[in-house]
Amino acid sequence: MTGVYAAAHKKGFLEQLESDDEGTRVKAWGDVDGLIEAHMISREEAAARKKGFLEMLESANEEAKRFAWNHARLLIWLGVISEEEAAAHKNDFLELLESNVHSLNR
C-alpha cells in the first residue's frame, strides 16, 4: 500500500508542475530540486513538464516571474531546462529588472 500511496502523491505533485494556478506551480517548482536530489522524481519527469516553469518566466504576475528567474539557474544546472530556453525569455527578464529599478526610484 505504501508504494501506491507514494505513486499517487508523485502523480499529484507532477500535475502541480503544470497547474493552471501559478501559485500552485510556484510552490511545486520550488520543491523540484529537493525531490530530484531525494530521487522522488527524476530530472526527466520535471523536464517533461518544463512548459509550466517556462511560462512563469514571462508571467504578468511579478512575484511568479521573480520566483522563476531566481530558480532558472538552478534548473539549468540540474538539466531540467536549457540555457537557450531561458535566454529565449531574456526580454521578460529585462522587463522585470526595469520594473524593479522603477520601484526603487519611487
Band of pLDDT at residue 1, cut at 50, 70 and 90? very low
pLDDT band at residue 88 using 50, 70 and 90 as cut-offs: very high
Q: What is the number of structural domains in the chain?
A: 1
Query: Which residues constitute the domain of residue 69?
Result: 2-104
Is the pLDDT score of 50 beyond 80?
yes
What distance in Å separates the CA atoms of residue 11 and residue 93, rounded to the nearest whole number?
A: 31
Cα 68 to Cα 93: distance, rounded to the nearest angstrom:
10
pTM, 2 dp: 0.83
Chain Cα centroid distance, residue 67: 8
- With a pLDDT cut of 70, the percent of the chain lying above it is 88
Distance CA 100, CA 93 (A): 11
The span from the CA of 81 to the CA of 99, in Å, is 25
Cα Rg of the chain, angstroms: 15
